[in-house]
Amino acid sequence: MTNNIELLAEVKSLTNKLLEIAKKQKLQSLLAEVFWLQSQIALIEFEIKEARQLLNQAEIIAIELGYERLGYRISKQHDVLFDQIDEWELLVRQNAP
Structure pTM? Answer: 0.80
Give the mean model confidence (pLDDT) for residues 61-83: 84
Secondary structure percentages of the chain, helix, strand, coil, to 5 = 90, 0, 10
Domain ranges of the chain: 2-95
Task: Specify the higher pLDDT residue, 10 or 84.
Answer: 10
For 5-61, what is each residue's pLDDT tens digit?
A: 888 899 999 999 999 999 999 999 999 999 999 999 998 888 888 998 999 999 899
Distances (CA, A) of 79 to 31, 43, 56, 69: 20, 14, 11, 15
Comparing 80 with 25, the larger pLDDT belongs to 25
